[in-house]
Amino acid sequence: MNKIARLEVDNQTYELPVVEGTEGDKAIDVSRLLSQSGYTTLDSSYANTASCISSIAYIDGDKGILRYRGIDIAELCEKSTFMEVSYLLIYGKLPNSAEFARFKERVHHHSLIHEDMKSFFTSYPGHAHPMAILSAMVCSLSVYHPELLEPNQSPAQRDQTITRLLSKVRVLAAFAYKRSVGEAFVYTRPELDYISNFMHMLFTTPMKQYVPDEKIRKALDVLFIIHADHEQNCSTSTVRMVGSSKANLFASLAAGICALWGPLHGGANQAVIEMLEEIHADGDNYKKYIDKAKDKNDPFKLMGFGHRVYRNYDPRATIIKRYCDDVLNHLGIHDPILDIAKELEHAALTDPYFIERKLYPNVDFYSGIIYRAMKIPTKMFTVMFALGRLPGWIAHWKEMVEDPGMRIARPRQVYNGEVGQAYKPIDQRL
């Protein structure tokens, strides 16, 4: 029997259907409440609002579980690749060998951008933030593919748009990096896999060819897998919100990239390193920063700590911590920033303030340290995250536009402003 929730207000009882997910999520469907009762629901920051029904990723924040299409994140990191996970997220199943070969071929085939676009990059000042360049370039890419902007695309057109973006955003990200360090743009090499190709586009110079390193490739592959999706986070919800107006995928992804940029979201990986550098410059006095984070009159927060959904531990952080140690050992790096990170982590995990509030290191606490070890500039960290998140954003956009019941997203509000104010001519205003 379907469950019903009852809401009593103004001496009236309203029956609201209960929706249950396959993993036992329970939600009260309030979509008809307004027309039935005149009441809306208030949930600032959407802390307890499911904006859609989705079958892409599942998170249990209390147990520290993350699964893509039902498969545990740790198993995917161990056995799969970012390319295969991209297919899984976007198309809903693991590919067989023929499907996977076709997918990789399509992604590879679209790995060039229009030559004219190079001049867009060089028009930016050298100090431009690569996230600004990336979001603008993803939107600009659409002008070269007017045939892919049609809101009611056929499945074949949609696939073309998807594979083009999967491949070309990687090139745009690498070019944004090259612009930020003032080096010549480097084209893809057909014989390299997706990740090694990206590393090659980042690190090959006219003087030196990048030589793929398996340990680094695997660590980056795992980083991209753990970033690939995280259900209705700020940037993914933005992609869905923009896409719900039937805006094309280029525009929806560009909006997602902008949402990711913020330091409370993807920008935290850059903010973590900047914070650790600040502590280092301040004599490694990490205890002072723990106190600042606890002080309600101080806006300082420990970057890389806390998560809206994970209240136990972040399973992605557990995985990436191991790769972080591996990469640093492999490269023989002793980074004083890492020592501070370890001290800070230990101090926070044993401090009642952090324990009571269930504040644990999140994925961004460690990812920045790995990128730094790979010699990726701090300003590029969030671009790396964007590249990893790309298949998740695409999967959510695709799930939404393929839903026959899709409607434009339009939240309500509770108005709390002036009531019936008369217009005063300027000479009568105080």
Q: Cβ of 46: how many Cβ atoms within 10 Å?
A: 13
Looking at the Cβ atoms of 148 and 320, the one nearer to ligand ACO is 320
| Binding region for ligand ACO (CB under 6 A) out of 35-43, 53-61, 90-98, 355-363 | 355-363
Nearest alpha carbon to residue 379 among 263, 297, 283, 299:
263
- In the bound complex, what is the minimum distance in angstroms from residue 48's beta carbon to ligand ACO? 11
Report the residue number, 188 or 238, with the smaller CB distance to ligand ACO.
238
Q: Which stretch binds ligand ACO (CB under 6 A): 99-107, 338-346, 362-370, 414-422?
A: 362-370
Question: Which whole-number Å values give the CA distances from 54 to 108, 367, 402, in the listed order?
Answer: 29, 27, 12
User: Interacting stretch for ligand ACO, rule CB under 6 A, among 2-10, 123-131, 260-268, 374-382?
Assistant: 260-268
Phi, psi of 13 (to 5 degrees): -110, 130
| Spatial separation of the C-alpha atoms in residues 3 and 154, rounded to whole Å | 38
Cα atoms in the 13 Å half-sphere on the side-chain side of 375: 9
Residue 307 a catalytic site member: yes
Output 117 or 290, the one with its CB closest to ligand ACO: 290
Of 166 and 303, the one with the shorter C-beta distance to ligand ACO is 303
Q: Which of 200, 307, 314, 396 is catalytic?
A: 307
Q: Which of 364, 396, 403, 427 is catalytic?
A: 364
Residue selected from 117, 359, 369, 387 as contacting ligand ACO according to rule CB under 6 A:
359
Taking the alpha carbons of 112, 192, 132, 314 in that order, is the dihedral positive or negative? positive
H or E segment at 191?
none
Q: Which of residues 43-82 bind ligand ACO (CB under 6 A)?
A: none
Q: Which is nearer to ligand ACO, 203 or 261 (CB)?
A: 261
Using the contact rule CB under 6 A, the part of the chain among 6-14, 67-75, 265-273, 406-414 near ligand ACO is: 265-273
Place of tokens 């329970």: 26
Considering only residues 284 through 313, tell me which ones interact with ligand ACO, judged by CB under 6 A: 293, 301-308
Q: Does 218 bind ligand ACO (CB under 6 A)?
A: no
Q: Segment contacting ligand ACO (CB under 6 A): 98-106, 135-143, 243-251, 263-271?
A: 263-271
| Helices and strands, counts by H and E, the chain | 18, 6
Total binding residues for ligand ACO by CB under 6 A? 18
23 vs 62: CA distance, rounded Å: 14
Query: Which residue number is nearest to ligand ACO in terms of Cβ?
Result: 306
∠ Cα 125 127 129 (to 5°): 100
Q: Compute the least distance from the CB of residue 357 to ligand ACO, in Å.
A: 4
- 148/319 with CB nearer ligand ACO: 319
Distance CA 96, CA 63 (A): 32
CA distances from 415 to 44, 45, 412, 419, 423 (A): 13, 16, 9, 10, 19
Which residues would be at the binding site for ligand ACO (CB under 6 A)?
264-266, 268, 293, 301-308, 357, 359, 362-364
Catalytically active residues, by annotation: 307, 364
